[in-house]
Protein backbone atom coordinates (compact mmCIF):
# COMPACT_ATOMS: atom_id res chain seq x y z
CA UNK A 1 0.00 0.00 0.00
CA UNK A 2 1.70 3.26 -1.07
CA UNK A 3 1.49 6.18 1.29
CA UNK A 4 -0.21 9.42 0.34
CA UNK A 5 0.30 12.99 1.49
CA UNK A 6 0.83 13.62 5.20
CA UNK A 7 -2.57 14.41 6.70
CA UNK A 8 -1.64 15.80 10.11
CA UNK A 9 0.55 15.46 13.13
CA UNK A 10 -0.63 15.48 16.73
CA UNK A 11 0.89 17.12 19.78
CA UNK A 12 -0.07 16.59 23.41
CA UNK A 13 1.13 19.99 24.65
CA UNK A 14 1.96 20.83 28.23
CA UNK A 15 -0.22 23.96 27.88
CA UNK A 16 -3.00 23.62 25.31
CA UNK A 17 -3.85 27.32 24.98
CA UNK A 18 -0.22 28.48 24.82
CA UNK A 19 0.57 25.98 22.07
CA UNK A 20 -2.59 26.87 20.10
CA UNK A 21 -1.68 30.55 20.34
CA UNK A 22 1.88 29.83 19.16
CA UNK A 23 0.77 27.93 16.05
CA UNK A 24 -1.94 30.49 15.22
CA UNK A 25 -0.40 33.81 16.27
CA UNK A 26 3.24 33.09 15.44
CA UNK A 27 3.09 30.59 12.56
CA UNK A 28 -0.21 31.74 11.06
CA UNK A 29 -2.24 28.52 11.18
CA UNK A 30 -5.99 28.90 11.63
CA UNK A 31 -8.05 27.40 14.43
CA UNK A 32 -10.84 25.56 12.65
CA UNK A 33 -13.64 23.05 12.84
CA UNK A 34 -13.05 19.97 14.98
CA UNK A 35 -15.46 17.10 15.55
CA UNK A 36 -16.92 16.72 19.07
CA UNK A 37 -14.37 14.15 20.27
CA UNK A 38 -15.30 14.24 23.94
CA UNK A 39 -12.17 16.00 25.18
CA UNK A 40 -10.59 19.43 24.67
CA UNK A 41 -8.31 20.12 21.76
CA UNK A 42 -7.86 22.03 18.54
CA UNK A 43 -7.49 21.32 14.86
CA UNK A 44 -5.26 23.94 13.31
CA UNK A 45 -5.58 24.44 9.58
CA UNK A 46 -2.96 25.20 6.94
CA UNK A 47 -4.24 25.88 3.42
CA UNK A 48 -7.69 24.60 4.37
CA UNK A 49 -6.35 21.30 5.75
CA UNK A 50 -6.34 20.42 9.48
CA UNK A 51 -2.58 19.91 9.66
CA UNK A 52 -1.80 20.21 13.39
CA UNK A 53 -3.97 18.49 15.97
CA UNK A 54 -3.59 19.49 19.61
CA UNK A 55 -4.79 17.11 22.32
CA UNK A 56 -6.13 18.48 25.58
CA UNK A 57 -6.65 16.61 28.84
CA UNK A 58 -8.60 13.37 28.45
CA UNK A 59 -9.24 10.12 30.25
CA UNK A 60 -7.57 6.87 29.17
CA UNK A 61 -9.84 4.39 27.46
CA UNK A 62 -9.42 1.43 25.15
CA UNK A 63 -7.07 2.37 22.34
CA UNK A 64 -6.21 5.73 23.94
CA UNK A 65 -2.92 6.28 25.72
CA UNK A 66 -2.71 9.44 27.76
CA UNK A 67 0.85 10.42 28.56
CA UNK A 68 -0.22 13.52 30.45
CA UNK A 69 1.75 16.72 30.84
CA UNK A 70 3.74 15.91 33.98
CA UNK A 71 6.48 14.21 32.00
CA UNK A 72 8.87 16.72 30.49
CA UNK A 73 10.93 15.89 27.43
CA UNK A 74 14.48 17.14 26.98
CA UNK A 75 14.05 16.46 23.29
CA UNK A 76 11.48 14.86 21.01
CA UNK A 77 13.12 11.44 20.90
CA UNK A 78 13.89 10.18 17.41
CA UNK A 79 11.46 12.71 15.92
CA UNK A 80 13.41 15.70 14.62
CA UNK A 81 10.95 18.19 13.11
CA UNK A 82 7.92 18.84 10.97
CA UNK A 83 8.17 21.06 7.87
CA UNK A 84 5.75 23.48 6.24
CA UNK A 85 5.88 25.20 2.86
CA UNK A 86 5.79 28.92 3.61
CA UNK A 87 5.67 32.35 1.97
CA UNK A 88 6.55 35.91 3.00
CA UNK A 89 10.02 35.28 4.42
CA UNK A 90 10.48 38.88 5.57
CA UNK A 91 7.08 38.91 7.27
CA UNK A 92 7.72 35.59 9.00
CA UNK A 93 11.08 36.82 10.28
CA UNK A 94 9.40 39.93 11.65
CA UNK A 95 6.59 37.94 13.32
CA UNK A 96 9.06 35.55 14.96
CA UNK A 97 11.10 38.47 16.26
CA UNK A 98 7.99 40.24 17.58
CA UNK A 99 7.09 37.11 19.54
CA UNK A 100 10.70 36.62 20.79
CA UNK A 101 10.95 33.22 19.09
CA UNK A 102 14.53 32.07 18.55
CA UNK A 103 15.22 30.72 15.08
CA UNK A 104 17.99 30.06 12.63
CA UNK A 105 18.02 30.46 8.88
CA UNK A 106 19.59 28.46 6.11
CA UNK A 107 19.86 28.71 2.33
CA UNK A 108 19.72 25.33 0.61
CA UNK A 109 22.81 24.90 -1.59
CA UNK A 110 22.16 24.63 -5.32
CA UNK A 111 18.41 25.35 -5.05
CA UNK A 112 18.57 28.72 -3.27
CA UNK A 113 15.47 27.87 -1.22
CA UNK A 114 15.26 29.45 2.22
CA UNK A 115 14.63 27.68 5.50
CA UNK A 116 13.80 28.84 9.01
CA UNK A 117 14.18 26.40 11.91
CA UNK A 118 12.56 26.95 15.31
CA UNK A 119 10.90 25.08 18.17
CA UNK A 120 7.34 25.29 19.46
CA UNK A 121 6.69 25.85 23.19
CA UNK A 122 7.08 22.10 23.90
CA UNK A 123 10.32 21.69 21.97
CA UNK A 124 8.85 20.23 18.78
CA UNK A 125 11.07 21.20 15.86
CA UNK A 126 9.44 23.22 13.07
CA UNK A 127 10.95 23.96 9.66
CA UNK A 128 9.55 26.60 7.33
CA UNK A 129 10.56 26.27 3.67
CA UNK A 130 10.51 29.26 1.32
CA UNK A 131 10.97 29.15 -2.46
CA UNK A 132 14.11 30.80 -3.90
CA UNK A 133 12.17 33.81 -5.17
CA UNK A 134 11.09 34.54 -1.57
CA UNK A 135 14.74 34.56 -0.50
CA UNK A 136 15.63 36.98 -3.30
CA UNK A 137 12.64 39.21 -2.50
CA UNK A 138 13.53 39.30 1.23
CA UNK A 139 17.16 40.14 0.42
CA UNK A 140 16.04 43.17 -1.62
CA UNK A 141 13.74 44.47 1.12
Please, which pLDDT band fits residue 112 given cuts at 50, 70 and 90?
A: very high
Where does the chain hold its CATH 3.10.180.10 domain(s)?
1-57, 79-141
Mean pLDDT of 96-125: 93
State the average pLDDT over residues 65-86: 69
CATH of 1-57, one of 3.90.1170.50, 3.10.180.10, 2.60.40.10, 3.40.1020.10: 3.10.180.10
Q: Which CATH architecture has domain 79-141?
A: Roll (3.10)
CA distance 43 to 45: 6
Secondary structure letter of residue 67 according to DSSP: -
- HSE-CB at 120 with a 13 A cutoff on CA atoms is 31
Q: CA-to-CA distance for 44 and 41, rounded, in angstroms?
A: 10
pLDDT surpasses 90 at 23: yes
Q: List the alpha helices (DSSP H) in the chain.
A: 16-21, 89-98, 132-140
Is the whole-model pTM more than 0.75?
A: yes
Highest mean pLDDT among 5-9, 31-35, 54-58: 31-35
Contact 109, 11 (CB under 8 A): no
Q: pLDDT at position 75, please? A: 63
Amino acid sequence: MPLGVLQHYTIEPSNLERTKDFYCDVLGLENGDRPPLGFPGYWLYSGGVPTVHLLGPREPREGITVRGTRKKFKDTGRFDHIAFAATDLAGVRQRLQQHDVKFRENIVPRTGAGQIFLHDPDGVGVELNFPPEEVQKAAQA
